[in-house]
Amino acid sequence: MADKYQVRINIINYLDARSVIKGWESEDGYYKDMDDALAGEVNQKARGYPYIPSSEGKAGTMMVSSKVPIDGPLNIVYLDGRSDSGLPHTRGLKGIALPVFLLWDGGDKASKTLDHEIVHLSQKQYREKWFDFYKYKWHFELATQEQFTSIPERWRSRRRINPDTLGSPYMVWKGRYIPLSVFVSEMTPDLKKCKRGFWDLKMSQWTWDAPSGWVEMFGSGFNDEHPNEIVAHWIDGSAGSERTNFHLNVL
C-alpha cells in the first residue's frame, strides 16, 4: 500500500507543552476518566510518575507521508521518559505523546513509532470507516454493555487503559471472544508488564490461549488486544514485512 497522504506535524516547544497537554486532557479525559473507571485504581498506580513534558522539547515542523487518511496539523509533545512508562501514545484527535528518548534516537525506531501513532489518530478521526473495516474484513464489532459486563470484575478491574482505544476498549471477535490486556500484578502494576487474554462469551470463561483462527488471521508475538493495535502494528512493520502492505479496502 503506497503512501498517499501528507500531513504536517508540529513539534511543541517545552514552554508551550503544558498548555497543549491541558487541551488534550479536556478533549479526551484520559487521566480524569480514570477516577471513575473500574480499572482506574490499578491504572493510576501504574502511572505513578507525573505526566510532564521533557525540557528537551524544541519547536519544529515537518511534513510526513502516511498510508492512512489523516487530517492535520498534528502536534507532538515529548514527555519525560518516565511519564506513562515511556510508552508512545495518542491524545485527542491530533496529539502524539512521545518519550524523549525517541528524540535522541531519530532512526528507524522513531520513524516506525511515528507511523504507528499516525495510524491511531486516523482511527480516531475516521472511526466509522475503521470500524466498518474491522466488522466486514476482520469480524470485530464493538461489544455491547451486556457483553462486556459479563466479564467478571476480577478481569475488568485489571484492564490496562489504553489511550489509543479510548471510547471502544471492548471489542468482540466473531461474536464470541473479547480480548483484553490485563496487568500481570495488581500490587505492583507496570504498563509494560501486561498479558493478553480472552473472555469467551459462549463458555463464560477466561482463557489465555488465542481462539481457533486468531493466530492464522492476525499472527502472534505483538500487542494485539484490540483491532486498533493490530492494524497499527501491521502498518508500522512490527508484525512482519508481509503484512505491511495489506490493502484497506474500506478506507
- pLDDT tens for each residue of 214-224: 999 998 866 78
Q: Is the pTM higher than 0.75?
A: yes
Which bin fits 221, alpha (ψ -120 to 50), beta or left (φ > 0)?
left
Count CA atoms within 13 Å of residue 87 on its CB side.
18
Q: Which residues pair with 5 in a beta bridge?
A: 66
pLDDT at 79: 98
Q: Cβ contacts of residue 177 below 8 Å, gap of 6+?
A: 198, 199, 200, 201, 211, 214
Task: With beta carbons less than 8 A apart as the criterion, state whether 141 and 170 touch.
Answer: no
Amino acid in position 170: Y
How many residues are recorded in the chain?
251
Lowest-pLDDT range of 7-11, 167-171, 210-214, 221-225: 221-225
Of all residues in the chain, the percent with pLDDT exceeding 90 is 84
Mean pLDDT of 243-249: 66
Higher confidence at residue 131 or residue 104? 131
How do 74-79 and 89-91 pair as beta strands? unpaired
Give pLDDT tens digits for 51-91. Answer: 999 999 999 999 999 999 999 999 999 999 999 999 999 99
pLDDT at 106: 66
What's the grid cell of residue 250? 474500506
| DSSP tag of 239 | T
**Helical ranges in the chain per DSSP H:** 14-28, 40-46, 100-105, 108-125, 127-138, 145-148, 153-156, 214-218, 227-236, 241-244
